[in-house]
Amino acid sequence: MTDTPFKSGFVALVGRPNAGKSTLLNAACGQRIAITSPVAQTTRKRLRAVVNTPTSQIVIVDTPGLHKPKDALGKELNRAALGELSDVDVVAMLVDATKPVGTGDEWVGAHVDKAHAPKILVLTKADIAKPDQMQAQLEAASKLAHFDDVIVTSATEGFNVDAFLALVSEKLPEGPKWFPDDMDSDATEEDLVAEFVREKVLLNCRDEVPHSVAVVCNDIVWKKDGHASVSATIFVEREGQKGIIVGKGGSMVKKIGVAARADIERLLGAKVYLELRVQVRPQWRRDQNEIRRLGYEATE
């Protein structure tokens, strides 16, 4: 009897904004690492999550949605996502089964096709796609690149998430564990705090301030009684947006804080006092230095 060789390596999730990359990553890890929202371009930072199975270690790299860039931030996000394609062992291109394949997907597909790694086409949101929609989508999306495999998933229902991981494992090279067993992500606590707060802003102020929001976690201070005192700043581009986020008598920022605090308490495993500030930084998305300062640049 021969032992199954241990496999390890990196899989990049790429696709258009809103394709469901972060939701699949969270489902694959069984916990919330990446923030998700119905607003396109939710993901700004590259995030790696580690999934251990008895025979493999899969490092999943979530990337910002690929899109036609309108500003310096958009360019930086594309650069980060495209950079991953040449660096990973497997590329998974996600296509939303409920939206017709369009020029945006063709553009992503052309980039995916250039990658040397094995490619998997992942049709997402199977739970809400109609059967004929799914069939048409399968045909159209299969032509976007030379895929080695195709899989249909629903990350919200947990459908085919394990099958997706098995498919990825199969394609990984033999290798050792790159990360210790207890490490599930390369994001720092500060990164996650900032992302949780940004997610709540996106969810609560969806129409008014979609992409002009950046969040930085200033510090996490552990107090003697065991609680954590956390402070974060929400940056927006205009006074009007600040007004929306603060809300009448501070009601909106309070709502954002209450929702974010619940996630942060789960993350830190302790009671949290959260202090949120809102600041205006005009035009930060057009300024490369500002994008860097806010921590959204491609690393490496």
Ligand X SMILES: Nc1nc2c(ncn2[C@@H]2O[C@H](COP(=O)(O)OP(=O)(O)OP(=O)(O)O)[C@@H](O)[C@H]2O)c(=O)[nH]1
Nearer to ligand X by Cβ, of 65 and 118: the residue is 65
Nearer to ligand X by Cβ, of 7 and 46: the residue is 46
Nearer to ligand X by Cβ, of 99 and 293: the residue is 99
Answer for the pair 125, 152: CB distance below 8 angstroms, yes or no: no
Could you say whether residue 65 binds ligand X (CB under 6 A)?
yes
Residue 27 CB, shortest distance to ligand X, in Å, is: 8
Residue 158 CB, shortest distance to ligand X, in Å, is: 9
Binding residues for GTP: 15-22, 62-66, 124-127
Nearer to ligand X by Cβ, of 215 and 272: the residue is 215
Binding mask 146-185 for ligand X (x = CB under 6 A): --------xxx-----------------------------
Residue 278 CB, shortest distance to ligand X, in Å, is: 23
Please report, as a single letter, which amino acid is at residue 43: T
Residue 23 CB, shortest distance to ligand X, in Å, is: 3
Residue 249 CB, shortest distance to ligand X, in Å, is: 30
Backbone torsion region of residue 226, taken as left when φ is above 0, otherwise alpha when ψ lies between -120 and 50, otherwise beta: left
How many residues of this chain bind ligand X (CB under 6 A)?
A: 24
Rg from Cα positions in the chain: 20
Query: Segment contacting ligand X (CB under 6 A): 12-20, 139-147, 248-256, 289-297?
Result: 12-20
Identify the residue among 12, 29, 43, 187 touching ligand X (CB under 6 A): 43
Identify the residue among 9, 32, 64, 144 touching ligand X (CB under 6 A): 64
Identify the residue among 11, 12, 19, 85 touching ligand X (CB under 6 A): 19
Binding residues: 15-22, 62-66, 124-127
Q: DSSP secondary structure string, the chain?
A: -PPPPPEEEEEEEEESTTSSHHHHHHHHHTS--S---SSS----S-EEEEEEETTEEEEEEE-PPP----SHHHHHHHHHHHHHHTT-SEEEEEEETTS---HHHHHHHHHHHH--S-EEEEEE-GGGS-HHHHHHHHHHHHTSS--SEEEE-BTTTTBTHHHHHHHHHHHSPB---SS-TT--BS--HHHHHHHHHHHHHHHHSTTTSSSS-EEEEEEEEE-TTS-EEEEEEEEESSHHHHHHHH-GGGHHHHHHHHHHHHHHHHHHTS-EEEEEEEEE-TTGGG-HHHHHHTT-S---
Nearer to ligand X by Cβ, of 206 and 271: the residue is 206
Binding mask 68-107 for ligand X (x = CB under 6 A): ----------------------------------------
Residue nearest to ligand X (CB): 65
Residues 22-41 within binding reach of ligand X (CB under 6 A): 22-23, 36-38, 40-41
Q: Find, among 241, 194, 240, 195, the residue nearest to 219 by Cα.
A: 194
Residues 107-136 within binding reach of ligand X (CB under 6 A): 124-125, 127-128
Phi first, then psi, for residue 282 (nearest 5°) are: -55, 135
How far apart CA 11 and CA 48 sit, in angstroms, is 9
Name the residues that contact ligand X, by CB under 6 A: 15, 17-23, 36-38, 40-43, 64-65, 124-125, 127-128, 154-156
